[in-house]
Structure 1
Amino acid sequence: MEYRLVKRIKLNFDSGVLLSIDFNLCRESNDLSKVTEEIINEIKDNIKNKGFPDYLWFRGIGNSLKYSSCKNIIDAIKEIYPHQKIGMYLNCELFQEEKLRNDFYKSDLVAINLNSIDSVDFSKINKCSNQVNSFDVLEGIKEFRKRFKGNLGIYTLFLRGINDNMKTIEQLKSFLLEIMPDHFSVSNYILDNFEPISEEFKKKIKEIFRYLPFKVIYMF
C-alpha cells in the first residue's frame, strides 16, 4: 500500500522512529474531517506492516481547527493502540488557550515552533493564523512547561532580514533559560525566495547558545 498522508522519518534528536502525519498535506480539503478516516486507515496499515513507531508524530497543526481534527485521530488511535506514544509539532499560538494546553499534556513529545518572542510583528514572524497577543502565548508556554511531564522541544526558524539579529537571539536565550526545554532546534528558513542567513550570523547563534544547559541541535 502506498501512503499519501503518513511517512516514517527520523529527527535530529533522540526520538527514534516517527510515523509522521503531516496536516500540511491536507490543504486541498477545507473540511479536514474528510481525510480523518483515510489518515486512520493509513496509520493502522503502516503499523500492521512495519510495526509500531516510537511516536505518532502530528505536524502542520497551525490552528485550533486543525488540532480538532488531529485530536479526533489521536482519540481513535488510542482506542486501538492505547500504549502508542504521541508527539506533536505545534505553532506557538495554540498555547494561549488553556483548553488546548490541557489536551497537550496527554502527549509524550511536544515541539513548539517559536521564531521570536518580540511583541513587534510576533504573529507574522511566528506564522500565526490570527493576530495574537505575544504575552498570552509566552505565558501559556510557561504554564505548559510547569505541568508537562513529557519531552519538550522548542524549534526556531531564522529568516534573513526578519529575525536574524542579536536582539532575537538574546531574547530567545532568556526565554529558553526560563522554561528549560529538553532540547532546542535551530534552523534556517530558505523557502518562499528567502536567502540563507549569513555564515557570520550562524557563528553568532552558536556562540550565544553554546553553553545552554540542554541539548541544542543546529540544522544548518
Structure 2
Amino acid sequence: MSETVKSGIHELIQDLDADLVRFDIDKRGHISVELKGQDAEFAINFLTNEYGTSVPLENVKEGDILRGSLVDVGKVGYGLYADIGVVSKVRVDALIPLHRIRNQFQSNRPLRALAQSLMLVENLPVEVSIIDIDRNIHKIEAEFAQSTLDRIKEWSQDNHERLLVFGANQNMIEDALKKSSHLDDIYKIHELGKFEFALVCKRSTRASGIIAAIGPKLRGVPMHIFIPKEIGENFDGPP
C-alpha cells in the first residue's frame, strides 16, 4: 500500500509548487511527510483534509466523535481497540470494552462470536464516541458512535451481499473488476475510508464469486465477505 499512498500524494500536489522530500508510512498506515516549496504549507493543509491528522491526547474530550479503524482484533477477549490517531508520549488506542459492545448490540455472546457475526474485522473504519479518558495512564474508553451502529444495521437488513476491500484505492478495485469482467456485477462501491471500500453486489451476485475473481489481481489486499442472510441467522442486529 505504501507505493499506492505515495503515488496518490504525488497526484494531489502535482499542480502545486511543492516537492515531497520525505515520505514514511508505518505498519498501521499512518503517514509522515515533509514537503518543500512555495506551496508547501498549502499542500500540507490539503493533505491533512484528505488523509486526516493525529490528535494530541490533551485535546481529546469526553463526548468527542472520532474516526478510526479497528486494530488488533481477536488479540484480547475484553474488548476491541480502535486506532483513532491519538498520540501522547505513545500512541493511544481507544478501548471499546466488551460490556459496552454487548450493551450496544443487545447480546451476551462472547466477543469473538460478536466480531465474527457482525464482521468487526481488522482495519474496519469506524466512528467512536469517547466515554472516559485517563491521561495519567494514557487510556481512552469509547463505544461505537451511532453512525457506525446505523451502518451495521443497514447492512444487516439489506439483501445485497458486500465485499469489503481494505488496502487498495478505487481505481485499483475498478481495474480488477474490469479485468475479471465483474464490474457489471457490482451495484455500487461505497467508500468507507481512503483505502477501504465496500463493494455492494447486485442481488443476483455472490460476494464469494467476486473475491475469487479479483483476489488474484489484488494480491496481499485483505478482503472480507458480509452476507446479510448469515448475519440474520446468527444475530438479531443492533437496536
TM value normalised by structure 2: 0.28
User: Counting strand residues as a fraction of each chain, which structure ranks higher?
Assistant: 2
**Larger of the two Rg values belongs to structure:** 2
User: Counting helix residues as a fraction of each chain, which structure ranks higher?
Assistant: 1
TM value normalised by structure 1: 0.30
